[in-house]
């Protein structure tokens, strides 16, 4: 998953500037909230939430054979990317 640095906010920023964070989520689609420099939560815009909900509801309608076919196309192991805390802090300061 690629995360735009402009889509990262600190928990304290979220508390102090909720309206700005909500507006940012609306324009980007979602923002990632860090607490103690660790991922803590995601704030979705209502449009992004509706899009994801529709996709999840579609997946729930698939039969077992269809799900097996879909799973064949997904990566077996997801490569997780880690980010140094200093880099995240630097990106937050540049927002």
pTM here is 0.64
**Domains parsed from the chain with CATH numbers:** 5-74 (3.40.1620.10)
Average the pLDDT over 54-61 and give the result.
Answer: 87
pLDDT per residue over 16-51, tens digit each? 999 999 999 999 999 999 999 888 999 999 999 999
List own/partner pairs for 34-40 with CB under 8 A and 24 or more apart.
34/8, 34/9, 34/10, 34/88, 34/92, 35/10, 35/11, 36/11, 37/85, 37/88, 37/89, 40/11
What pLDDT, on the 0 to 100 scale, is given for residue 81?
58
């Amino acid at each position: 998953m690629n995360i735009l640095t402009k889509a990262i906010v600190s928990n304290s920023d979220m508390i102090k500037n909720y309206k700005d964070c909500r507006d940012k989520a609306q324009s980007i689609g979602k923002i990632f909230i860090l607490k103690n420099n660790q991922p803590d939560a995601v704030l979705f815009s209502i449009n992004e939430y509706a899009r994801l909900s529709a996709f999840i509801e579609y997946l729930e309608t698939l039969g077992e054979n269809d799900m097996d076919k879909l799973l064949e196309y997904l990566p077996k192991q997801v490569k997780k990317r880690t980010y140094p805390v200093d880099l995240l802090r630097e990106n937050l300061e540049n927002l």
